[in-house]
Amino acid sequence: MALLETHGLTAFYGDFQALFGVDLTLEEGETVAVIGANGAGKSTLLRSISGLLRNAPGQIRYENAGIGALSAPDVVRLGIAMVPEGRKLFPSLSVEENLLIGKYGRSGSGAWTLDAIYDLFPVLKERRSSPGTALSGGQQQMVAIGRALMSNPRVLLCDEISLGLAPVVVKDIYAAFPRIRANGASIVIIEQDIGQALKVADRFYCMMEGRVTLSGKPGAVSREEIHAAYFGAH
Ligand code: ATP
């Protein structure tokens, strides 16, 4: 049984249909990447799983229970946390206060404490009293990841964490992922950087126009297949 699964997932913004029957599975311990061009539906998929968009209950299953109709706070409480696109820190709060906000999500304990986050990203300890928005883009992304981890998630959903960051910073951030996995989180990442996605993922899904056009293990598909699934065959 998969830890998390979408089954024929559909999603709408008013009358506009953004997802057309998306099937995705995340096994315990896996890192799965979702790639695709702008507007393919990647963020809509994560917003659906995280409860920001409501769906039919049975279209999203977590630990074999239908969660598609739950609210975002209920989804966090079950152990699914999101690192949103654009980081979305609270500008008037310090780094430490931003991190502590993540703690209020989940009932129950786990490996992720404030000290564990500072151990994962030592620069955040140095900047703990600074307003979140005074940090560099990479440091802000570390705060957004740390805030999500403070809820001790079993599933971490990451929306475009490398967007706008220098390659060396992206490398630093992804260097934290083995430890995040070791502490018991399975991970879904959205990436526009295909190379980066395929480097960290055990499996990937490629989306186009609200549908999955290709899925598999990074080593098992050719660049041509990925290119066709990403841009469409012209
Ligand atoms: P991006 O990389 O730009 O975030 P994406 O693959 O994440 O792209 P989505 O943001 O999921 O794509 O968008 C999927 C489709 O839904 C697009 O056609 C987009 O225009 C539309 N869409 C997204 N958000 C809304 C919204 N709030 N209201 C109406 N349509 C929306």
Q: Is the CB of 220 under 6 A from ligand 1?
A: no
What's the average model confidence in pLDDT over 167-191? 93
Residue pLDDT, tens place only, 6-49: 999 999 999 999 999 999 999 999 999 999 999 999 999 999 99
Q: Is the CB of 40 under 6 A from ligand 1?
A: yes
**Ligand 1: which atom is nearest the Cα of residue 40?**
6
Q: Where are the beta strands (DSSP E) in the chain?
A: 4-13, 16-26, 31-35, 60-62, 65-66, 80-83, 155-159, 186-191, 203-208, 211-216
Kindly give the distance from the C-alpha atom of residue 45 to the centroid of ligand 1, in angstroms, as a whole number. 10
CB atoms within 10 A of CB 132: 25
Beta strands at 16-26 and 4-13: parallel, antiparallel or unpaired: antiparallel
What's the average model confidence in pLDDT over 90-100? 89
The length of the chain in residues reads 234
What pTM value is reported for the model?
0.94
Inform me whether the pLDDT recorded for 103 exceeds 60. yes
Mean pLDDT, the chain, as a whole number? 91
- Reported as a pLDDT band with limits 50, 70 and 90, residue 124 is very high
Determine the residue type at 34.
Answer: V
Residue of 9, 24, 38, 44 to test ligand 1 pocket, by largest number of atoms within 8 Å of CB? 44
Measured by CA distance, the residue closest to atom 25 of ligand 1 is 13
